[in-house]
Structure 1
Amino acid sequence: MQLSARTAARAAALVLAVATAAGCAPPTSGGGAKEDTKTGTLRVWLFQEVNNKPKEAAVGKAVADFKAAHRGTDVRVDYIPVDTRAQRIKAAFNDPKSAPDVIEYGNTDTAGYVKDGGLADVSQEFGAWQEAKDTDPTAKQSVTVDGKVYGAPLFVGVRALYYRTDVFKELGIAVPTTQDEVAAAARKIRAERPELYGIAVGGAYTYGALPFLWAHGGELATGRGKDFTAAVNSEKSQAGIKAYADLFGDANCPAAKCAEMGGNDTVAAFAAGKAGMAIGGDFSHQAVEAGKVKGKYAVVPLPGTTKGSIAPAFAGGNNIGVLKSSSHRTLAVDLMKQLAGKDTQRRLFDAMGFLPTYTDVRAEAAKKQPFVKPFVRTLDAGAKFVPVSPAWATIDASLVLPTMYQEIVSGRKDVATASGDAAKKMDEAFKK
């Protein structure tokens, strides 16, 4: 569920408080478990989906295959609520006796979990795993910290441009091929169909805004490991920030209504027939299909700044990792491979629509379901990821980027001031 900016701020404060409290508990031992038992029961924590039955079926097949190949083993799978994952996983890191062997985790959490000492380094096993050679580079980046691999990508999600085919035809608008054309199309739709947003945008929609920043050559930060430095205040980043901020206003999406909108809000507006365009994910497809625009929309990659280019999208998604504290390390790594392997990713795509992280399996998915093609094209063009730093969790939870965009679109600060202030907050987090 998408939170308003105020509610999200309160929730972020709670998450930070819980994380801080958990951080005071005794850390896991630096060397991990002292034994590597080859039999027994492995515990797995996976995220609970809104409709979890299809996921359970896909996972059940993977578990059955694993057990058939490993005599004397059993697997217990628990599905944990996404909104309580932070405190549960932190607690597991600090209590090895009750911790699972294998977990599903958000791909932006990797660096933080590595810093906490919770995830096992599986670089050697990942490097020798034949299937892993087909992993999308950006997906692999999401499990890599300082050159070491701490898990296997499970699925990836990206965003593209949804647009109303009926509205475009009625107003004689060509499908945009640059971001300037997106803005021009939005203004025309709003001018001639004032009951619609030209393109639904949100001041709290960070991952809808970032493709504009990246398309203009900007970056969130530069460096690696503990040496990241914020770059949102660079000249190129500011140009991309301005391009997105310029979509707010009476000529498209009034700031009074759109400043606090998040990604779910913008997709909901499009699905309800209240917008001519929206930036939505492959994971938004079902919601749009269930809305009033069914049969009256299409999807293309979000254009870049030059004709024919594709704006880099944020590569979201989840990973599967092995806990350092597991006393079944070898079995846990094998189970990780089974859960994140090609066969399981095929089943998860069929059951849930999760985009595979393997380039060959993703190509198969695009042939099977045509709606996937624009998102695959977006990934193939080169997606981007957030800084792989433990500080990112703090930056994200503190709403640094949404606050920056909201300050700009509300007129409280100009682009230079707001991005400069955001950069200072990011640098403070990076230095801790």
Structure 2
Amino acid sequence: MKKRLAALAALALTMTACTPSTSAPSAAPSDGGAKTGTLKVWLFDEPNRAPKEKVVGEAIAEFKAAHPGADVDVQYIAVDTRSERFKGAFNDPASAPDMVEYGNTDLPEYAAAGGLADLGPAVSAWSEGGDLTADAKATATYEGTLLGVPWYVGVRALYYRTDLFAELGLQAPKSQAELTQAARTIRAKKPEMFGLAVGGKYTYAAMPFVWDAGGEITAINSPQARAGLKAYTDLIAADNCPPQNCADLTGGKTVDLFASGKAGMGILGNFNRAAVDAGAAKGKYAVIPLPGSEPGSVAPAFAGGNNLGIMKNSRRPALAADFLTLLASKKYQIKMYEAMGNLPTLKSASDEVAAKDPFVKPFVDTIAAGTKFVPLNPGWGKVDSGAVLPTMIEKVATGKATVDQATDEAATQIKAALGS
């Protein structure tokens, strides 16, 4: 308890130093704002929210029991419109939440907007703060300042239907060539299904193909990037996942396809486990790292994940820090893993779930093989919110542009947004 109080005091001092006087907490800044009242919290919605909501509800009950007079109002916001919601919150502190969940790709944009509090002192004083790995903390750090607590890390791997593979005499693919052949075999033998669900608007399923070919986001029109994009978009075809069905598929819709039994394979995250287990594919699938072009290799995955942060203008920063450290604790990281498949960021929690659940191994192996990330540039938000990459993929998939035309257009937009 003393360590948690120290963390709250450290955060309160940090917030006092950096919060404009026009938006000071309602109580004396030295005590970290009001100690009662309602915390406003924004968390991301999910394709299947119920398991997440249950765990968060347990944390709220524990928090309220320890904080008489305090309450937590959680609003689940749509991921697709988060950028607009956060911009509004940064521009209107009076209606902004106290605590937020945000994607690590959003960090540069939100850091540039100046809307997030420095959590460095609070995390240093938090009893479990030292258990965060350096790599995890890096996903919440911008120009040396820790602007969040990594809540979970996420990578994508290949989910495949074991029953279907057994029926068709297929082996788990060990290369990109074997993957594409298996996808087309499934489609040919089971025309009511898609072989590998691939979405024209599913950026982080397409990028492993680009990265595996040696391409990069900042040089998306390079020969290597174009080769990788072609390998991916060639799968959005009648012999696997027809454009009329798949050109506008997002990541969430791809999860739904696999979970409902309409696809033999899908490139999904560890964090999609609960959604898959809620569907027809439950108990009929296995996971392996997404194969690369070289036999036995692993295609680089996007190192995703979400952070928990506190708004700089929170009127209850100490209460917000207390709820944040509770929700980010080992206890609740393990609960979130059990509910959602979210990989913990605290090493002790990660070690514990890996030891008792074989499901973790392919994702751990994927991370060990090497991951990629988006450019740490404030302009990345413009690339993301402008749907530059999914538009590029969709144009190729629908035949509206050639690979060369689409990548040239995207490269121009990326260069303008990043200022490079």
TM-score, reference length from structure 2: 0.82
Aligned to 1:10: none
Gaps of 5+ in 1: 1-27, 68-72, 221-229
1:345 paired with 2:333, answer yes
Q: 1:194 and 1:215, CA in 2 relative to 1: closer, same or farther beyond 3 A?
A: same
Deviations along 1:188-229, whole A, 9 cap, x unmatched?
223333333221111111111111122222221xxxxxxxxx
Q: What are the Cα deviations for residues 69-107 of structure 1, in whole angstroms up to 9, with x where unaligned?
A: xxxx85432211313654554344334455444322232
Q: Does 1:146 align with 2:143?
A: yes
Runs of 4+ deviating beyond 6 Å: none
**Gap change, CA 1:411 and 1:160, over 3 Å in 2:** same
Provide the rounded CA distance (Å) in 2 between the counterparts of 1:31 and 1:178. Answer: 58
Partner of 2:13: none
The alpha-carbon distance between structure 1 residues 48 and 149, as it changes in their structure 2 partners (threshold 3 A), is closer
1:106–1:242 Cα change, 3 Å:
same
Residue 119 of structure 2 is aligned to residue 122 of structure 1: yes
Q: Work out the percentage of aligned pairs sharing the same amino acid.
A: 46
Displacement after TM superposition at 1:128 (Å): 6.0
Cα distance between partner residues in 2 of 1:132 and 1:31: 31
User: 1:377 aligns to what?
Assistant: 365
Aligned counterparts of 2:65 and 2:361: Cα–Cα separation in 1: 30
Secondary structure at the residue paired with 1:162? strand
Of the three residues 67, 70, 76, the one matched with 1:81 is 76
- Are positions 1:60 and 2:56 aligned together? no
1:45: which partner in 2?
A: 41
* C-alpha distance after superposition, 1:210-256 (max 9, x if no partner): 11122222221xxxxxxxxx221223222221221121222322223
Segment drifting more, 31-40 vs 182-191: 31-40
What residue identity is the alignment partner of 1:376?
V
Which residue is equivalent to 1:256? 244
Report Cα offsets for 1:258-294 as digits up to 9, x if no partner.
2122223333332333322111222332333333333
1:109 is the counterpart of 2:106: yes
1:129, distance to aligned residue in structure 2 (A): 5.1
Q: Give the alignment of 1:30-429 within 5 angstroms.
A: 33=24, 35-38=29-32, 40-41=35-36, 43-47=39-43, 49=45, 50-51=49-50, 53-60=53-60, 63=63, 67=67, 75-83=70-78, 86-126=83-123, 131-220=128-217, 230-326=218-314, 329=317, 332-429=320-417
| 1:241–1:31 CA distance, 2 compared to 1 (3 A) | farther
* Inter-CA distance 43–88: structure 2 relative to 1 (3 Å threshold): farther
The CA distance in 2 between the partners of 1:321 and 1:171, in whole Å, is 48
Contact 1:260 / 1:406 at 8 angstroms: preserved in 2? yes
In structure 2, the CA distance between the partners of 1:115 and 1:29, relative to structure 1 (3 Å rule), is: farther
- Provide Cα deviations, 1:149-182, integer angstroms capped at 9, x if missing partner: 1111112232211112222223322211122221
The one-letter code matched in structure 2 to 1:207 is Y
Q: Check whether the contact 1:143–1:152 (CA below 8 A) recurs between aligned residues.
A: yes
CA deviation digits over 1:30-61, x for unaligned, max 9? 99859332462373413265326413333226
Query: C-alpha distance in 1, partners of 2:300/2:207?
Result: 8
Residue in structure 1 matched with residue 6 of structure 2 by the alignment = none
Question: Residues of 1 paired with 2:205 and 2:21: CA distance?
Answer: 39
- In structure 1, how many angstroms separate the alpha carbons of the residues matched to 2:346 and 2:371? 14
Distance 2:242 2:338 in 1: 39
Give the C-alpha shift of residue 302 in structure 1: 1.0
Question: Any idea what SS the aligned residue of 2:182 has?
Answer: helix
Amino acid in structure 2 at the alignment position of 1:259? A
Amino acid at match of 2:39: R
In the aligned structure 2, how far is the partner of 1:31 from the partner of 1:145? 25
What SS does structure 2 have at the residue aligned with 1:81? strand
In the alignment, the residues of structure 1 paired with residue 386 and residue 88 of structure 2 have an alpha-carbon distance, to the nearest angstrom, of 22
SS in structure 2 of the partner of residue 396 of structure 1: helix
* Separation in 2, partners of 1:30, 1:387: 34
Q: Distance in 1 between matches of 2:398 and 2:245?
A: 10
> What letter corresponds to residue 424 of structure 1 in structure 2?
T
Could you state the TM-score of these two structures normalised by the residue count of structure 1? 0.80
Deviation at 1:119, TM superposition (A): 0.8
Given that residues 271 and 288 in structure 1 are in contact (C-alpha distance below 8 angstroms), is that contact kept between their aligned partners in structure 2?
A: yes
CA contact (8 A) 2:39 2:316 kept: no
Q: How far apart are the structure 2 equivalents of 1:81 and 1:177?
A: 39
1-side partners of 2:373 and 2:69: how far apart? 36
- The alpha-carbon distance between structure 1 residues 166 and 346, as it changes in their structure 2 partners (threshold 3 A), is closer
Residue-by-residue CA offset, 1:107-158 (whole Å, 9 max, x unaligned): 2222222111111223344456563444355533331212321111112232
345-354 or 316-325, which moves further after superposition? 345-354
Residues matched between the structures, number: 392
- Conservation of the 8 A alpha-carbon contact between 1:212 and 1:243: yes
Secondary structure of the structure 1 residue equivalent to 2:201: coil
Residues 194 and 364 of structure 1, relative CA distance in 2, 3 Å threshold: same
RMSD over aligned Cα atoms: 3.0
- Checking the alignment, whether the CA contact within 8 Å between 2:272 and 2:340 is kept in structure 1 is no
